[in-house]
Amino acid sequence: MPSVFASVPIAATLRTQLASCGLRTAEAIKNLSAEQLSHQLQISYEEASELLQAVQAASTPKPRSALDSLSQQLQQSNISFSSNALDSLFGGAGIPTAKVIEICGCPGTGKTQIALQLSANVICNPEGDQPCRSIYIDTEGSFMAARLRDMLPTVSDLSTQDDNSPLDNLYYYRVCNHLELLALVKSLDQQLEDHNNVRLVVIDSIAFLMRMNLEDAGLRARLLTTIGQTLLRLARAHRLTVLLLNHINSKMASDDFLPALGDSWGHIVPNRLLLYEDKGRRYARLYKSSNLPDKTVPFRITSQGVRDTIPDQGHDQSLKRNYFTDDENSLPDVYEE
Amino acid sequence: MDWATISRLDVRPRIHSALQQSTYESLGQILQAPSLELQKRLKLSSLEVSELETAVCEVIYNVRSRRQTAAELQNLQRFLSTGDPACDALLSGGIPTRGITEIVGESSSGKTQLLLQLCCIAQLPTNKGGLGGGVAFLHTEGKFPIPRLTQLLTRYKDDFPPQFDPSAHVHYVNLVDTETLYHIVFYQLPIIIERQQIKLVIIDSIAALYRGEHFDQDTKGRLSQRKELCDISVQLRTLSEQYGIPIVCSNQVSDALLDNEATSILDAYEQWLPTVETDISDIELEPFVASLSKVPTLGFLWSNSINVRIRLARGHRTEELMKARRLMCVEFAPHAGKGCVEFEIYDLGLRAVSSTSETSDDVPSL
């Protein structure tokens, strides 16, 4: 979608001047007085106040009725997990736009796989004739392009394009330390204005660079808040979904997981999804959400990506019987709490 | 701050001079500082501070030059072969050249044997599954097994040019404490990787030092040790990314202390049964379950720091078959699903055993 700043009617020369002063967003200009602006840009006071008014008019949110926002929400296309069970966690059609979601889980529970599947579904579903883009910020080096390619849903009208073109719509950034991560998140605003139609931003993972290696707990909390707030703002302003992957720090008892990064981070993320494995099967539990019930669903990961479990698990059960004489009741496919 | 750093910032002269007089020592400090603090300490307007922040972000992370698309990355992905087609198939191609791969298992489950085999294969040209470069081997468990390495290299002698001595390209160091490990990983490893054309870094094992030291330390000491482990994992991943080389670490296991033995074995059954006994591989889990029930050391902190975990398990000896049975399992990997292969160690290394006629059809024998 076009940015606020791009839609403000400003002369091209003035825009270049603004950019040379580091003023690339409406946000930055709004905070200034007309005097400061006229001094900085060496333009008359009248011109500066006109500019300010135009920027303010364009960026002030107009009051909207609940009906308007509801109808807008219904128009937005959701991002599907490629699994009906996982989609049902978010109301049936996958992740709605403009959500910030954290996925946490032990290593090997499928965090990266779900992130790849969601990315694949974004880049394969263009909106009209506009291709949708996805940004993948990798802090761990676990991104595998070939795995992403395997997960691409087969689209029938691919004949006009060559096979690679969906992959061109995923922008990948590798960050190696917490400063790079902070700098990248702070420059995302500019990125999102340069490339329209970014629908998904993934950080895989938020925890790895923000662990014990940052000794100063106060600094770590502040950086996390900065990153969290920036992402929440971007999600709202650009109507994109932000997916944050997080680690599990310790497993106190068999069903008590503790996500990394502590409580202050827990307050920032509005939606949390926990992935875990039990008896060799994978489960996802939505355990924090502002508007959806706590629910647990099973899923599986195949060579083509994230999928629903097959209802018939008879094969596994018969194998188990060899080892466990007291026949355990199999888990129901979906159980709600 | 020194002029060389300041001059990299694309800002107006007034901001340059304000930085020169300030007490800030690095660009990182400026990036982390809140805008209001910058305004106060540098005596700049909010406009100038936002200009400065944009410029600092650009120097620390240049978004345009660091951006890659998935289509570009697809051509860069490479794998290091394990030397056995069935094991490579298990790993969907082999050990990925980015990130840290952990090989964990009981003592005598074959960890070091696999690592030594990787030492040989890494030096092969890329069309033979290798990476065409030397190996840096950080060895922490006793004496480096040179005779065994020499023996393994004979298997590949025809693949190397006549004058090429592969053992000359395995650079090893014996480590005795965590301080030396830290120093080598941070200061010497980057230099040796560059100078000696290192294409594979092996640490055998990461656990021995961190497990063995500081039994009686207080909370503060343990915390600093955990921080060190975090730092090492960040540094290893950075090196892997920078030079495009795989990092392979071995790790030990400990008995599951939380539950009693019977429970942990039952858990291992439930966890591994769907992986081991599938339609494709019909390996009996029973001999290996005691070995698989053990827990990798160093906890969640380390588990969260690795990309791939390969589990080696050793079956208990049976009366009629004196030879130990061994199992290689993929516990997690971003590119490969769970699975396992039974393998054996023979005089020239490590190879998969086809337990049923079904698997021997799929896997061409060596």
Q: How many contacts, defined by CB atoms under 8 Å, are there between A and B? A: 189
- Would you place residue B356 in the very low, low, confident or very high pLDDT band (cuts 50, 70, 90)? very low
Contacts 24+ apart (CB under 8 A), A126-131: A127/A77, A127/A197, A130/A196, A130/A197, A131/A165, A131/A166, A131/A169, A131/A197
User: What does residue B237 show for φ and ψ, rounded to 5 degrees?
Assistant: -70, -35
CB-nearest to B60 from A173, A183, A219 is A183
Task: Suggest the residue from B14, B52, B54, B272 to mutate for an interface test with chain A (most A CBs closer than 10 A).
Answer: B54
H-helix or E-strand containing A277? Answer: strand A271-278
Least confident of A51-65, A104-118, A131-145, A287-301: A51-65
Q: Quote the minimal CA–CA distance from A95 to chain B in Å.
A: 23
| Contact call for B304 and A148, based on CB within 8 A | no
Q: Quote the minimal CA–CA distance from B352 to chain A in Å.
A: 23
Q: Is the pLDDT of residue B60 over 80?
A: yes
Q: Please give the CATH topology (third level) of the domain spanning A72-329.
A: Rossmann fold (3.40.50)
Q: What is the pLDDT of residue B287?
A: 81
Domain spans, chain A: 12-59, 72-329
Q: pLDDT per residue over B326-341, tens digit each?
A: 889 999 999 988 888 8
Task: Suggest the residue from B12, B30, B57 to mutate for an interface test with chain A (most A CBs closer than 10 A).
Answer: B57
Query: What residues does A295 pair with on adjacent strands?
Result: A286, A336
Domain spans, chain B: 3-66, 75-362
Q: Is the pLDDT of residue B109 over 50?
A: yes
CA distance B155 to B347: 10
| Contact call for A179 and B234, based on CB within 8 A | no
CB-nearest to B331 from A108, A140, A215 is A108
Q: Hey, which residues 332-361 in chain B have their CB within 8 Å of chain A?
A: 332, 334-335, 337
Structure tokens at A56: 């303010």
Top CATH class of B75-362 equals: alpha beta
Q: pLDDT per residue over B250-303, tens digit each?
A: 999 988 765 566 677 777 777 777 777 665 566 777 788 888 888 888 888 899
Burial class, B195, CB count within 10 angstroms (exposed 0-12 / middle 13-18 / buried 19+): exposed
Structure tokens at A19: 């950019």
Q: What is the DSSP string of B231-291?
A: HHHHHHHHHHHHHT--EEEEE-EE---SS-HHHHHHHHHHHHHHHHBSSS-B--SGGGHHH
Residue B300: closest CA among chain A residues belongs to which residue?
A: A249
CA B270 to chain centre: 27
User: What does residue A206 show for φ and ψ, rounded to 5 degrees?
Assistant: -75, -25
Task: Suggest the residue from A213, A226, A276 to mutate for an interface test with chain B (most B CBs closer than 10 A).
Answer: A213
Per DSSP, A79 falls in state: B
- Would you place residue A314 in the very low, low, confident or very high pLDDT band (cuts 50, 70, 90)? very low
Q: Are A90 and A285 in contact (CB under 8 A)?
A: no
- Mean per-residue pLDDT, B147-172: 89
Report the share of chain B in percent with pLDDT over 70.
89
The reply to whether B35 touches chain A by the CB within 8 Å rule is: no
Is the fold of B3-66 the same as that of B75-362? no
pTM (2 d.p.): 0.83
Q: What is the pLDDT of residue B199?
A: 95
| Contact call for A222 and B77, based on CB within 8 A | no
Please provide the CATH number assigned to the domain covering B3-66: 1.10.150
Burial class, B227, CB count within 10 angstroms (exposed 0-12 / middle 13-18 / buried 19+): middle
Q: Comparing C-alpha atoms, which of B142, B143, B171, B166 is closest to residue B156?
A: B166
Q: Quote the minimal CA–CA distance from B66 to chain A in Å.
A: 6
Helices (H), A129-242: 145-151, 165-168, 178-194, 217-238
**Burial track A19-56 (b if 16+ CB lie within 10 A, e otherwise):** eebbbbbbbbbeebebeebbebbeeeeeebeebbeebe
CA distance B126 to B133: 10
